[in-house]
Amino acid sequence: MNLSLKIKNLFLIALIYFGFCQLHFAQKNQENCFKTGADRPELYLPLIQNKTIAVVTNQTGLLKDKTFLVDFLVKNKVKIKTIFAPEHGFRGDADAGEHVKNGVDSKTGIPIVSLYGSNKKPTPEQLKGIDLVLFDIQDVGVRFYTYISTLTYVMEAGAENNVEIIVLDRPNPHDGYLDGPVLKDPWKSFVGMHNVPVVYGLTIGEYGKMVNGEKWLKNGIQARYTLIPMLGYHKKQRYEISEKPSPNLPNDNAINLYPSLCFFEGTQVSVGRGTDLPFQIYGSPWTRGLPYHFTPKPTPGAKDPFLNGKLCFGENLSKDTHDLRELNLEWLLNAYKNYKNPQQDFFLKNLFFDKLAGTDELRRQIASGKTSEEIKESWKDDLEKFQKIRKKYLIYEN
């Protein structure tokens, strides 16, 4: 081998090596640079010092070192008058829909007010003497998960009572894509307050910006709204969630499956509450043609689970759907086809299914035998319209 060829080969090896090192360094640097809004106190502490504040948070309000936001603020001499807790409570251990009592945080002595049940929106009395509300909750990025509804009511109360709202942003595990039917006005409820699809592709901070910017608060009022953005975040990468957002979403797999399986909450089919695999299995006593079986029993996160004590037949999805990036209708359609119970309809009589879907059309499509592809095609125009709205409020690389 002549000298010039040797030099050329060495040069190429050096380029590859240093290129790899730079790429590896960039990846590691990106990991190290990622911060939630809560981990950027240099941005929000100056805004809340010497003010009396309320904090809306729960067990997910953690800094990178696992310190609770409330504890961190107290340590930094921030005056917190009230902790507002969403569904599942301040410590995140209450069942879905369970009434959570007001109380006092044993560690700090700060009063806790539940924003669930009959008091979903802070009252003027509860906001009296408060300069601003700091909101820090890990959301799931799905329309019927109620933390975005809590944010909406907090923003509305803030606008009505001249109280500023500051949101510390966190990742959306379903970011980067849109899916599902867009909610129609007649089906608005606490599990769907706005005309958005089931999966809407915005962080909770971006979502609040949209609610404010589109004037979706009562009477078109707007809140004084400040977003503390994340650092190093973009919408095509999954970021680790520091704490499970609620008792029955214990891991990434359950969160991935949640947009698809939550529809079962409006049917005679269990989603595994009261088992070791909530939102990772589904089944019913009346779907005997399906291969997997389980029996729901009382657990700390499901004190009286649906179909408690009844042998259910269904599917176990816990092993092969970790990277799901779409709303899968096949499980719902499969359960409907295999449902055999002449005494009870597949859908609950209260038609909670329609509230979850945001329309009665999906229920009718399933009953008429439409395929998954046909159903998804019917969502296309509404998703395109929503995408135009969504684009206005994106602050992270899509």
CA 350, 353, 357, 362 dihedral sign is negative
Rounded average pLDDT over 55-75? 95
Residue 382 lies in a domain: no
Looking at residue 101, its pLDDT comes to: 60
Residues 331, 189 within the same domain: no
Contact 112, 172 (CB under 8 A): no
> Which amino acid type is present at position 302?
A
Helix residue ranges, H only, 298-351: 330-338
pLDDT > 70 fraction of the chain, expressed in percent and rounded: 88
Looking at residue 89, its pLDDT comes to: 60
The pLDDT-based confidence of 386 (bands split at 50, 70, 90) is very high
Pairing state between β 111-114 and 79-85: parallel
Residues 87, 200 within the same domain: yes
Report residue 385 as tokens: 């319209």
Residue 389 lies in a domain: no
Paired residues of 52 in beta bridges: 79
Residues 28, 79 within the same domain: no
Residues 83, 1 within the same domain: no
More confident position, 387 or 3:
387
Rounded average pLDDT over 281-287? 98
For 16-48, what is each residue's pLDDT tens digit?
Answer: 333 333 333 333 444 568 999 999 999 999 999
Rounded average pLDDT over 128-150? 97
Looking at residue 32, its pLDDT comes to: 60
For 85-119, what is each residue's pLDDT tens digit?
Answer: 987 567 544 444 444 567 888 888 999 999 988 89
Contact 253, 321 (CB under 8 A): yes
Nearest Cα neighbor of 176 from 196, 195, 201 is 201
The pLDDT-based confidence of 239 (bands split at 50, 70, 90) is confident
For 324-367, what is each residue's pLDDT tens digit?
Answer: 889 999 999 999 999 999 999 999 999 999 999 999 999 999 99
Q: What is the CATH number of the domain that holds 134?
A: 3.40.50.12170
pTM of the predicted structure, to 2 decimals:
0.89
Neighbours of 15 (CB within 10 A): 10
Report residue 72 as tokens: 């961190």
For 295-312, what is each residue's pLDDT tens digit?
Answer: 999 998 899 999 999 999
Contact 187, 355 (CB under 8 A): yes
Nearest Cα neighbor of 213 from 227, 232, 231 is 227
Residues 26, 92 within the same domain: no
Report residue 89 as tokens: 């409570």
CA 171, 234, 260, 149 dihedral sign is positive
The structural domain count of the chain equals: 3
Neighbours of 82 (CB within 10 A): 21
Looking at residue 237, its pLDDT comes to: 85
Residues 81, 23 within the same domain: no
DSSP string, 15-32: HHHHHHHHHHHHHHHHHH
**Range(s) of the domain holding residue 216:** 37-241
Nearest Cα neighbor of 350 from 264, 266, 262, 258 is 266
Residues 105, 199 within the same domain: yes
Q: 316: part of which helix (H) or strand (E)?
A: strand 312-316
Residues 59, 23 within the same domain: no
pLDDT at 286 over 70: yes
The pLDDT-based confidence of 321 (bands split at 50, 70, 90) is low
Q: How many residues does the chain have?
A: 398
For 179-212, what is each residue's pLDDT tens digit?
Answer: 999 999 999 999 999 999 999 999 999 999 999 9
Residues 47, 174 within the same domain: yes
